[in-house]
Structure 1
Amino acid sequence: MTVGLKNVLRVALILLLGTLATLYFTGGLTQELTLSALKTQLSVFADYRNAHPLLISVFYFLVYVVSLSLSLPVAALLTLAAGALFGILWGTLLVSFASTIGATIAFLMARYALRDAVQKRFGYKLSVLNAGIEREGGYYLLSLRLVPLFPVWLVNLLTGLTPLRTSTFYWTSQVGMLPGTLVYVYTGTQLSRLGTTHDIFSAQLLLAFTLLGLLPLIAKRALVAIKTMQVSRHWSRPSRFDYNVVVIGAGSAGLTASYIAAAVKAKVALVEKHRMGGDCLNTGCVPSKALLRTAKLAAHMRDGARYGLSTVRPDIDFAAVMKHVQGVVETVAPHDSADRYTSLGVHCLYGNAQIVSPFTVEVTDETGKTQRLTTRSIILATGAHPRVPLIPGLADVGYLTSDNVWSLRELPTRLVVLGGGPIGCELAQAFARLGAQVTLIEIGSQLLPREDIEVSTLVEECFRRDGIDVRTGHKAIRCERNDGVNRLLMEYRGEEIPIVFDKLLCALGRVANLEGYGLETLGIDTRSRRNIEVNEYLETVYPNIYACGDVAGPYQFTHTAAHQAWYATVNALFGVIRRFKVDYSTIPWVIFTDPAVARVGLNEKDAREKTIAYEITRFDLDELDRAIVNGAAYGFVKVLTVPGSDRILGATIVAECADEILTELVLAMRHGIGLNKILGTIHVYPTLAEANKYTAGAWKRAHAPQRLMNLFARYHAWRRKESGFVASARKEAQ
């Protein structure tokens, strides 16, 4: 069937359903299908039923199926009629199958007529729902069926727009609607006693409906218990636990998780096999930002003439620079130390942790001594490590990563950086400003491939001014060492291009630490993904084993790791009472280049890929007084908003101190504050944060009501003229 014919049939089906619904509401059927009308006709129908029981049953069954197929809101009355006409047993049987068949037909019609268009238009907004339906669609539908507050016809239509399997819909509906059917059919048997539909909700029936409302909670707990029993049935469960939670990994996620657990007086053990603080403290955020600060200062010294100072060529002692970087790490280290966390109530252990059962962690220290910890819950916060590409000859020439680059004490004369993502860009600019000849290689067509092209273009221009040789579209194919000289061979537009280097830095992202923790023994899949798969509660396949931070993804940021750790810990400790779904709606991130790139929410590239409508408001920082004062009048603030609204969908800032400017916009998105309120907020002058206010002002000007503005113009023009009366009075006075 061609696409055009399918579209015609879809339109015809929508028109037919609309016509039938219109006839129902305008043709007097709404008056016929009321409780009073039903009671009036009950005796007549009863006579027909006594004379032709099978025929009336079939007729009733077909009427019920057609009514639900057309999504007419008459299910409750027809179910009452079943009780009155056929009794509780035969009535329940008829309604159960008729309602399920009719609901399935409505489900299929909604799917055929509308699902493709709805998913295409709102696919991004429905992505979380779709994922949940694909994973646990039967449970979601069962919850809706068991709560009588949700109209049957509405549930049919809405679920038809989702990826829920038809077979799952049918059987879940058959089971889920049965308790409600029983209550309504029973009520129908008492139909002669009912005066109005309000009488349905007697004390006894309200109690029944209350129990129906509790069924989803009971089912939810039962499903969790069954799942736990299924995945844990091969493991012995201790009668008593040593800990409420054992956290594996003392990086940002692990430290946050153990801190929260100790704060609510849970007994928690934190196991780290290397260094407290993880990558962020020792090899990531802290040392890299210290290096970037020194590099920026060196750049300012060379640029002194712009500020009326003598230009200074800095004499860089690279060993001293790296010693300073290490000193910063050592200064921050006590914040993440075992002593501090022990004082907070955390039992800190050094050693290799291996999960030997869902309730047991075995810790082996450096002497080979082992101890077993039993625990109700386990939180995996094992972090990630740099990804090293499979390039022939790479191991022979040697390479650096973001883990071991901090051991350098001599500045490489010629440095090649593989990877134009955040890590590659930050380190490439730092080493270039410290005096290295840097070549930055990116296989894609632009640096920072997740960002809009104008962002990447501006960053690349600044890099070239810093002397970085930027090579986009180049693919590294092999390394070789001849006569003591290292060469990297790259492919560019079919041509092989060599480049000589002293050191090569791999900055191609990070891969989750999955090996050595016993995950394979437990059956937790670590082969098909780059991280551990978790659900919206950060649970693994075992409901009592959680993962957060880099090992869980989807974001590999220190602040996101801490964000996830809160959800993992609270769910691990209090999940039997209430569980919380992790919220990724306003995750900010910053690339600390100069200019820095800061973002929250959507950018244009994301919005186009997800087919989300948006408007752009942009403010260039060459108009901002503080940026001019700082000699940093470059970059921009770009905000995406809902068309015709000031609600923020996302923001991108490219500027000096973009990371500090962004926070106000993150707050605005998180709490639903629009650009109008940002415009109405007093900002200190002169500051870089005023850029947000000016961006909001640009949005306001673009959305000023033109008719009202025209009226204002005419009003003010009129005020500038003297009326004839005023003019004659002035003349007489003279």
Structure 2
Amino acid sequence: MKKPVLLVAILALIATGLVILRNYSLDLDSVRAHLDALQTWRQSNAWTLFALFFLAYVTVTALSLPVALWMTLGAGALFGFWQGLLLASFASAIGASLAFLAARYLLRNWVRAKLGERAATIDTGLKRDGAFYLFTLRLIPIVPFFAINLIMGLSPMRVTTFWLVSQAGMLAGTAVYVNAGTQLAQIDSLSEIVSPALLLSFALLGIFPWIARMFVNILRRRKAYARWKRPAGFDRNLIVIGAGAAGLVSSYIAAATKAKVTLVESGKMGGDCLNYGCVPSKALIKSAKLAHRMHQADHYGLEPVTPQIPFAKVIGRVHRVIANIAPHDSVERYTELGVEVIRGHAKIIDPWTVEITQGDGGRRRLTSRAIIIATGAEPFVPPLPGIEDVGYLTSDTLWEVLRDRPEAPRRLVVLGGGPIGCELAQSFARLGSQVTQVEMASRIMLREDEEVSELVKASLERDGVNLLTNHKAVACGTSDEGKWIEVEHAGETRRIAFDDIIVAVGRKPRLTGFGLEELGIKAERVVETNDYLETLFPNILAAGDVAGPYQFTHVAGHQAWFASVNALFGWIRRFKVDYRVVPWATFTDPEVARVGLSEAEAREKGIAYEVTRYDIGDLDRAIADGAAHGFVKVLTRPGKDRILGVTITGEHAGDLIAEFVLAMKHGLGLNKILGTIHIYPTLAEANKYAAGEWRRAHVNPRLLALLEKIHDWRRK
């Protein structure tokens, strides 16, 4: 109760101050009269008056009472320019700091809870540029003094920073008014002080830091480009390095806007997603799911069948699926679209020049006004002793290595409990492998809520996966009995024999060999970019896995729009990349899809939320399909239908999440979803029923009681 009581007390003080001020005429004549009386008292009580005036000034500014201007004039009239400036400058900064602290203590948590995830984005910007914004606003006296104090109190800015910047920023304006106070007897109207010319001067003074900042950025850019000679002209408008999702979309947009664009790819067109990741894994998952359904045929009123699994044909189908989709990403298609496609390895020689080493060893140099780095990522292989000796597989290599195998690996170890590891472990188990999955953490799928991890874990174990969490891989090796991996658990180690091992512990961006080091572009975990996806050199941008922070194909395509538009049209207008609503899915059985906050993340960030849950087991279509499992879990603001995050587990969760993605993107609440017609019987009705659960939980019981009485009355 401390905060509400304090807030009421402060509001009461402000109201009291405003009432008192109503009884006083605030014009030049009355101010002169009061000051004349104080001047007489000052002759024998100079320091007492100075201290009392100082405390009064601090109080007025702390309570945001609208008399600060008169107090500043009075300081100049009573104490002269230098003493008045000293008093007004420090008193106003201290009073502002008190208002700042009050706003932080009383309102910050409440405002942050209202803003949700947007608060973190705002905090990041204010941590970086808050002092600059504050200084700029303090230079412009027409910006309400109290509003600045309150708004900055909601920010993460340190109070010492706020005080120092306020002290410096208000000094010029304070000096003008203190000086006017020293001439108060000669002033006939406030317009002589606050003239349009003066206000314009202050406005220009406020704009000056922005101009200075722009100038500094220009100098910084010039410094970055200083050691390079800019070409007189350019061969291309855009060169894109990498033909994965980000590179293909960037090239497409450039060609569609009639820019001259070259796409360079050293490997396969389509990148990781088409050739090694999304497409082949989903093809394998489908075959594995069908084999599982055959085992479970009695669940559908049919005789169960043990499927014959010619593994080479399964992998052959995977490659056919790749081949069928490949024309969408082919050289021919993009050439028809107007993209010049060059097969070879690209290296950036200077900020405008790319050297391409082609397959025959020949080299070609092209200049371009802009360059986009879209080199993707590759599997990370931990430095595990002996890992190189056992012939490990990754999500990139297993499709070729296993291509001609007549059977699935008999004993398979999957190292890693993330989405890729879980998808592959379940699929190979359903295709006949004895799978052991090793995860160092306490549970699989750490990015999801614990109940989701448990649900997927139970499904994997039903399919025969031997799931070992809290097990750390120590070493690999070979012996007369074959290959083995040694794992540590609770201080004890043991060896697990295997025929094949898939390393699926994450992916790392491809950063080396493209000239980034020589240019001085920072690239540690990812290529360092700003909000516009620009690197150290504004004409060199990065998109996709190589840029982070998400390693999803759909995010790579999303980034590609911003990268290509900024690269081609940034001289007119640039766009900050938008990560506000990012969905993803793991295609295990059951599928897991999420957008926005999970419950665990909301708790960690201290964000207030409500949980609404709908059990898909109650859905008619799910029951009819034999898929009556999973749930829809929606996080909303307490008492509000605004969506903070959604997790769906079950059949086609990755498809069902799209409705919530759209709703979050455009600020639509659960009431809008409830009011939308959904086809019966479909799985999509689960979204509407989840919204209905929220509505049912928020019906006003008093209103229901009143309606009951009205219905009773109407029956009489």
The two structures share one fold, judged by TM-score above 0.5: yes
Q: CA deviation at 1:104?
A: 4.5
Amino acid at match of 1:430: S
Q: Where does 1:131-146 land on structure 2 (aligned, <5 Å)?
A: 131-146=124-139
Contact 1:33 1:77 in 2 (8 A): no
Q: Which runs of 5+ in 1 are unaligned?
A: 1-6, 723-734
Partner of 1:370: 363
Deviations 1:185-218 (A, max 9, x none): 8998899777677x98876566556646755653
Deviations 1:395-443 (A, max 9, x none): 1112111110111122211111111110001111111111111111211
2:422 matches 1:430: no
Instruction: Tell me the distance in 2 between the aligned counterparts of 1:328 and 1:203.
Output: 72
Partner of 1:669: 664
Partner of 1:606: 601
Partner of 2:459: 462
Instruction: Tell me the distance in 2 between the aligned counterparts of 1:191 and 1:335.
Output: 82
Q: CA deviation at 1:634?
A: 0.5
Partner of 2:482: 485
SS in structure 2 of the partner of residue 451 of structure 1 = coil
Q: Which of 73, 94, 104 pairs up with 1:105?
A: 94
Q: Which of 558, 568, 572 pairs up with 1:573?
A: 568
Partner of 1:3: none
Partner of 2:315: 322
Partner of 1:356: 349
Q: Which of 276, 297, 319 pairs up with 1:283?
A: 276
2:686 matches 1:691: yes
Q: CA deviation at 1:571?
A: 2.7
Amino acid at match of 2:567: A
2:507 matches 1:514: no
Amino acid at match of 1:488: I
> Which range moved further: 462-471 or 169-178?
169-178
Partner of 2:441: 444
Q: CA deviation at 1:291?
A: 1.2
Shift of the 670–99 alpha-carbon distance from structure 1 to 2, 3 Å rule, reads: farther
Q: CA deviation at 1:38?
A: 6.7
Partner of 2:620: 625
Deviations 1:598-642 (A, max 9, x none): 111111111111111111111101110000111101001010110
Q: Which of 649, 654, 671 pairs up with 1:659?
A: 654
Deviations 1:554-582 (A, max 9, x none): 11111111112222223333334433222
Q: Where does 1:2-41 land on structure 2 (aligned, <5 Å)?
A: 21=14, 24-28=17-21, 34-36=26-28, 40-41=32-33
Shift of the 168–353 alpha-carbon distance from structure 1 to 2, 3 Å rule, reads: farther
Partner of 2:392: 399
Contact 1:360 1:375 in 2 (8 A): yes
> Which range moved further: 596-605 or 69-78?
69-78
Q: Where does 1:225-244 land on structure 2 (aligned, <5 Å)?
A: 225-244=218-237
Contact 2:85 2:178 in 1 (8 A): no
Partner of 1:270: 263
SS in structure 2 of the partner of residue 546 of structure 1 = strand
Q: CA deviation at 1:292?
A: 1.1
Deviations 1:624-673 (A, max 9, x none): 00001111010010101100011111110001001111111111111111
Shift of the 79–109 alpha-carbon distance from structure 1 to 2, 3 Å rule, reads: closer
Q: CA deviation at 1:95?
A: 8.4
Amino acid at match of 1:456: S
Partner of 1:338: 331
2:518 matches 1:525: no
Amino acid at match of 1:137: G
Partner of 2:708: 713
Q: CA deviation at 1:20?
A: 6.4
Partner of 2:292: 299
Contact 1:80 1:187 in 2 (8 A): no
Q: CA deviation at 1:32?
A: 5.2
Instruction: Tell me the distance in 1 between the aligned counterparts of 2:245 and 2:185.
Output: 64
Q: Where does 1:178-193 land on structure 2 (aligned, <5 Å)?
A: none
2:464 matches 1:475: no
SS in structure 2 of the partner of residue 710 of structure 1 = helix
Shift of the 238–621 alpha-carbon distance from structure 1 to 2, 3 Å rule, reads: same
Q: CA deviation at 1:99?
A: 6.4
Amino acid at match of 2:366: L
Contact 1:146 1:215 in 2 (8 A): no
Q: Where does 1:26-175 land on structure 2 (aligned, <5 Å)?
A: 26-28=19-21, 34-36=26-28, 40-41=32-33, 44=36, 62=54, 66=58, 70=62, 72-74=64-66, 77-78=69-70, 81=73, 101-102=90-91, 104-106=93-95, 108-109=97-98, 115=104, 122=112, 125-146=118-139, 148=141, 150-164=143-157, 169=162, 172-173=165-166
Q: Which of 677, 696, 699 pairs up with 1:701?
A: 696
> Which range moved further: 663-672 or 17-26?
17-26
Contact 1:107 1:160 in 2 (8 A): no
SS in structure 1 of the partner of residue 412 of structure 2 = strand
Deviations 1:102-137 (A, max 9, x none): 465356546766657877773855322332233333
Deviations 1:509-568 (A, max 9, x none): 1111111122222333334xx222333222333333322211121111111111122222
Shift of the 342–76 alpha-carbon distance from structure 1 to 2, 3 Å rule, reads: farther
Q: CA deviation at 1:328?
A: 1.3
Instruction: Tell me the distance in 2 between the aligned counterparts of 1:594 and 1:337.
Output: 32
Amino acid at match of 1:523: G
RMSD of the TM alignment (CA)?
3.9
Q: Alignment length, in residue pairs?
A: 706
Amino acid at match of 1:446: R
Instruction: Tell me the distance in 2 between the aligned counterparts of 1:236 and 1:45.
Output: 72
Shift of the 104–559 alpha-carbon distance from structure 1 to 2, 3 Å rule, reads: farther
- Matched-pair identity in %: 49
2:409 matches 1:412: yes
> Which range moved further: 97-106 or 316-325?
97-106
Instruction: Tell me the distance in 2 between the aligned counterparts of 1:466 and 1:75.
Output: 75
SS in structure 2 of the partner of residue 126 of structure 1 = helix
Partner of 2:540: 545
Shift of the 205–114 alpha-carbon distance from structure 1 to 2, 3 Å rule, reads: closer
SS in structure 1 of the partner of residue 545 of structure 2 = helix
> Which range moved further: 690-699 or 156-165?
156-165
Instruction: Tell me the distance in 1 between the aligned counterparts of 2:262 and 2:613.
Output: 49
Q: CA deviation at 1:39?
A: 6.4
Instruction: Tell me the distance in 1 between the aligned counterparts of 2:129 and 2:292.
Output: 55
Deviations 1:224-272 (A, max 9, x none): 3133123333333334333333322221112222222333333333222
Q: CA deviation at 1:83?
A: 12
Contact 2:486 2:493 in 1 (8 A): yes
> Which range moved further: 144-153 or 349-358?
144-153
Instruction: Tell me the distance in 2 between the aligned counterparts of 1:58 and 1:230.
Output: 51
Q: TM-score, normalised by structure 2?
A: 0.87
SS in structure 1 of the partner of residue 679 of structure 2 = coil
2:550 matches 1:555: yes
Instruction: Tell me the distance in 2 between the aligned counterparts of 1:649 and 1:372.
Output: 49
Partner of 1:4: none
Partner of 2:645: 650
Shift of the 686–207 alpha-carbon distance from structure 1 to 2, 3 Å rule, reads: same
Instruction: Tell me the distance in 1 between the aligned counterparts of 2:695 and 2:99.
Output: 40
Partner of 2:583: 588
Q: CA deviation at 1:305?
A: 1.9
Contact 2:374 2:544 in 1 (8 A): yes
